[in-house]
Amino acid sequence: MMQARGRLIGLGVGPGDPELITVKALRLLRESPVVAYFVAKGKKGNAFGIIEAHLQDAQTLMPLVYPVTTEALPAPMSYEQIISDFYDSASLDVAAHLDAGRDVAVICEGDPFFYGSYMYLHDRLAERYEAEVVPGVCSMLGGASVLGAPLVYRNQSLSVLSGVLSADELKRKLVDADAAVIMKLGRNLPKVRQVLMDTGLAERALYVERATMSNQKIVPLAEVDPMSSPYFSLIIVPGERWQG
């Protein structure tokens, strides 16, 4: 008799506040014999910190350790190739548990399909294994809530932009946007801030670091030190308020 394969479960665990994990994600987390999580070398990781208190002794922990954590690498090293090979290898490790009949819950800060690392495993494995994805509160919604900033009113549209884009691309997309969220700041902050000033949006823009986490920080955009802006920061340009 053939052994049943395990399920691949992508669990969104929210933006940082441990209470923002859903009831469903918590149930599946506790039921999974294997819990996998992405993490930088030598770190515990934000996602793991969110769920650590809920883990059972019998569960197998499976850290998936990034080989690099920055896109700026000396030639001839290619960040894209190194990371792609890493996801290939991580998928094989996860598949070994699935083939043995063990469910694997891959936890993901925020939402698994919103800039979530889980999606790269999903792309490689979901066609061969049963997969379930549990959505989570993503960072931009956590940011909007702590900033007290409604994102879009009535028929407005929201643009989610990467701070890695060139200044010209950012400017073009921001000019056309009713409202915007700019993510992946870090070293891109000076460029993004200048574009917001050039487009006349700087006064409307709101900045937050590590939204909903215990070390959350809200700072006026003009006062942010570009050398200390972390990866887990974002800028929200809310839609124009509608007096309904």
In degrees rounded to 5, what are phi and psi of residue 181? -120, 125
Q: What is the mean pLDDT of residues 54-83?
A: 81
Q: DSSP string covering 154-208, please?
A: TT--EEEEETTS-HHHHHHHHHT-SEEEEE--GGGHHHHHHHHHHTT-TTT-EEE
Quote the radius of gyration of the chain (alpha carbons, Å): 19
Which domains, and CATH codes, for the chain?
A: 8-137 (3.40.1010.10), 140-237 (3.30.950.10)
User: pLDDT, tens digit, for every residue of 210-238?
Assistant: 999 999 999 999 999 988 888 889 999 99
Residue 61 scores a pLDDT above 90: yes
C-alpha distances out from residue 85 to 3, 22, 68, 88, 148, Å: 29, 32, 12, 5, 41
**Which DSSP symbol is given to 105?**
E
pLDDT score of 68: 73
3-state secondary structure of 129: coil
pLDDT at 73 over 70: no
Structure tokens at 114: 């919103």
* Amino acid at position 34, single letter: V
Q: What is the pLDDT of residue 35?
A: 98
**What DSSP line would sit under 139-158, residue for residue?**
HHHHHHHHHT-----TT--E
- Amino acid symbol at 222: A
122-156: pLDDT as tens digits:
999 999 999 999 999 999 999 999 999 999 999 99
